Copies of this chain bind each other. A is one copy, B any other.
Amino acid sequence: MTVSLQVMRAQQDGIFTDGCPSRVVLDHVTSKWGVLVLAALADGTLRWGELRREVDGISEKMLASTLKTFEADGLVQRTAYPEVPPRVDYRLTPRGRDLAEAMSPLMTWVAAHADAIVNG
């Protein structure tokens, strides 16, 4: 069953209105690289370099900014090891894993139907 804006608003007043918390979070998640970074981290811990390679095409700047946003949101946990050479890894928090699960149907759907949409 599909949930529409109207239905959600009947349950929760003012949800997804301009500037409200749900819009802020939605913007973070649906930011240009948001879903891809979350999906990359969905089944385990990754280092910075692995993440860069996994999320094909992302720039260092956007990876850093996306990770910072998610860290501030409590969706991603960063761990730095005091080694030389430096090693840092990223993984989803429980909340992040929960979100990734909620995103899963969308990703699966897109993967399954993208060719039909783009080609025709």
Contacts and interface: CB of A to CB of B under 8 A. Distances in A.
Given A21-B118, A74-B117, A97 B2 contact: yes
Nearest to A17: B56
Secondary structure of the A contact surface, majority rule: helix
Contacts of A36: 5, 16, 26
Contacts of A7: 42-43
A104 B2 contact: yes
A85 interface: no
Interface in A74-120: 74-75, 95, 97-111, 113-115, 117-120
12 contacts: A2-B100, A4-B100, A6-B43, A8-B108, A16-B56, A16-B111, A18-B56, A25-B118, A73-B117, A75-B117, A95-B113, A99-B106
